[in-house]
Amino acid sequence: MSKKISFYADLDAAKKDDVYYSLTMFPYPSWSALHAGHASVFTLNDVVARYQRMQWKTVLNPFGFDSFGLPTENYAIKVGKTAQEVTKENAAYFLEQLGSMDLSFDEKRLLYTSDAEYYQWTQRIFSQLFKAGLVYRDTMYVNRCPDCQTVLANDQVVNGKCERCGAEIMQKKHPQWFIKITDYADRLIDDLALVDWPEETKTNQINWIGRKYGTEIDYEIDGHPGDYITVFTTRPDTNFGASFVVLAPDSDYVSQYMDSFPNKEEVQAYVKKSLAKTTVQRMQDAKHKTWVHTWLYVVNRLNNKKIPLYIADFVLANVGTGAVVGVPAHDPRDFDFATLMNLDVVRVVQSQEGDDTPIKKSEDVFTDEGIVMNSDFLNGLTTQEAKEKINDYLEQKGRGKKIVTYKLRDWSVSRQRYRGAPIPVYYDEHGEPQLIPDEELPVVLPLDLEEYKPTGKSPLEDHPTFSTYTHKNGKNYQRECDTLDTFMCSSFYFLRYIDPRNTQELGNPEWMNKALSVDFYSGGKEHTVWHLLYARFIHKFLYDQGFVAESEPFKKLFHQWMVMGADGRKMGKRYNNGVDPLEVAREYGSDVLKTYLMFMWPLDADKPWDYNSVRGVQKFLKRVETLLEWEKTDHNQLPNELISLMHKTIKGTQYDYEHLKFNTVVSKVMILVNKVYDCKVVSNELLLMIAQLLAPMATKVAEHIREKLEQEGSIHYSRFPDFDENKIAQEMLNLPVQFNGKMRGTIEASPWIQQDEVMSLLQNNEHFTKYFEGKEIKKIIYVQDKIVNIIVA
């Protein structure tokens, strides 16, 4: 019987260059069981961790639970238990399932965000943000879930519904705490160049932040000399073609000029109806525009033309200035609106080829850059030249200025729910918010609150003692009873893992310097603009404060694939098609489960669960173990072809492990094992090497083989095998090469050649270089040793 292996990362003894931090996003304990889809995520991370351990790295591979927030609280209410009970019960079964999978988590670093020893750091970070001037309280329209009875950030609303419970969201004015994530908008975009992340994820974050370079232009309100509506536009060069201006219903302009609107009651009714919608609904409804005429006009001071002023809910008050100018000849949305209103459509940009045909239909709208026309002193200039000239003109005349705007809004962190870190604030005798002193943290969430179903106010307000704060001066004050958004807790948990029992500081500075940044981070792409954005922001703040030495938290990010049910649908409760990994591990063994999960398909491809393939993996691992029963041959007496394939397999699997190609790791070892059976010979050294190649996945089988071969120590702390290039037979193959699906020839290559090596050969081959000239590579489709298809444009 082998001893239990410790996977504790001793950061005291390790050198910085020898530390590898492998991490998967921690789960909510809001459901009682994980299915095979979840198991695949944890297995992926564990394989990475085990491989790096066999590179003799000190591997930090911790685990914990995101145990605060709506998911756990809602589940507890649903099943009629306390949130504490649910957290304890579900986490225990969760850990039992993970234990059955033989994962190499660092058990000494287990944490729960709902423990006071953890969330005191959530509160301390909030306090640091407050002291840095990055926290404020304001009353404004927010997204409110009527079922969860709490406020949600924009990114917690999906298709107009609560991403937790699915209820339709409503807009409501509410006092809230906000964190100025917008102060970090530029760095959150620019620093994405520093990390190895999926391009899609980077693009989605950039689009969510929504940085736009444009111009603010002042339009004078007709009949109100000296009063202006300031619009934001990214195309100031087209403003000679402006036909209308639209205000957001919740903009300050509307309330400021409400009494000036001849149809005031109609406007008020429209505004009320619009503000009942969420921001997301208003954006989604933009194709089905609603509006109200104000019967006021504004003056385009470029040409002194009066144009109508409307109010429409597709314009948002917190984007740009809350006022947009419509140029229908050069924006399809503006054209649709102008057509509805029977407004002028004036073309002011012709194509580079000289097409100046009047715009009559939406498909004729010209959105490209070109040559300016019908624009007085801008005529004949290119779009870029016209932008520069009009900006200079507006600034000289005091009628506008260049500006950068962002779609990103400040982070609303107040929640009117029980399960969260209490906000460490009280209100003094003047009603001004004051921080609870650091030495009094944590502000502990009371565990004796019997009723906390959502009612629209913070449940802690009804606690008999919590809502009163007794100051050291002896006076009693009102305590803040909202709790913090759970994304505050998950924005730094990877830091706390490094030194989770430290009560004096966020973490041992020396340990944090060695461990950070996280080398490999895996999780779902649904967290792109939630957890991942907030974690980057908080990390950058802590970097500015000197708590961490790196400005980005995660060096490499990988989004896992989706394991589908056997019916081809997403695995889960909805379709009753989940596969319990604990049951699979009991019937087939954890090695079969993990090896199958990594062997199914490439890691970034969705795949259906297939028990026939599970049994195929079981048969393969049994064939490997059966080699223990064979009589062993002296290693030097093995056939050359077997020795060659052994070194070739080591080389190939080493590359595959480092590039997350775990399915081809298994297939390469299968080929080697088949060759062993063909040759009917094996040595102790060869069998041990096979075990080491499989060890990151087939953990128990590999350990069993090492023990039977009477090797000292655990195979999981042994060195991954090295290959000898000189012992690999130089076979060659002719690889078919396609460009955009058309066969363009073949190129001679060695077997198991990798994609980057193929591309290097092609780009240095005279026959193929012409297909790259003047083209951008859009995609590479490579089936190893079979074919390569390069998509260029």
pLDDT at 1 (0 to 100): 41
pLDDT at 2 (0 to 100): 53
Tell me the C-alpha distance between 551 and 538, whole Å: 10
CB-facing half-sphere around the CA of 629: CA atoms within 13 A: 6
The model's pTM is 0.87
Q: Do the Cβ atoms of 585 and 541 come closer than 8 Å? A: no
Q: Do the Cβ atoms of 94 and 27 come closer than 8 Å? A: yes
pLDDT at 70 (0 to 100): 75
Tell me the C-alpha distance between 119 and 584, whole Å: 36
Does residue 751 have a cis bond before it (omega within 30 degrees)? no
Placement of tokens 């029977």 in the chain? 342
CB neighbourhood size of 304 (10 A): 8
pLDDT at 680 (0 to 100): 97
pLDDT at 145 (0 to 100): 80
Q: Tell me which residue of 210, 74, 192 sits closest to 155, measured CA to CA.
A: 210
Q: Do the Cβ atoms of 429 and 243 come closer than 8 Å? A: no
Ramachandran class of 278: left when φ > 0, alpha when ψ lies in -120 to 50, beta otherwise:
beta
Tell me the C-alpha distance between 68 and 484, whole Å: 10
Tell me the C-alpha distance between 45 and 55, whole Å: 16
Does residue 517 have a cis bond before it (omega within 30 degrees)? yes
The residue type of 292 is V
DSSP secondary structure, 527-566, as one string: GTTTHHHHHHHHHHHHHHTTS-S-S-SBSBEEE---EEPT
Q: Which residues of the chain have pLDDT under 50?
A: 1
pLDDT at 3 (0 to 100): 63
Q: Tell me which residue of 238, 445, 226 sits closest to 330, measured CA to CA.
A: 238
pLDDT at 392 (0 to 100): 97
Tell me which H or E stretch contains 299: strand 291-300
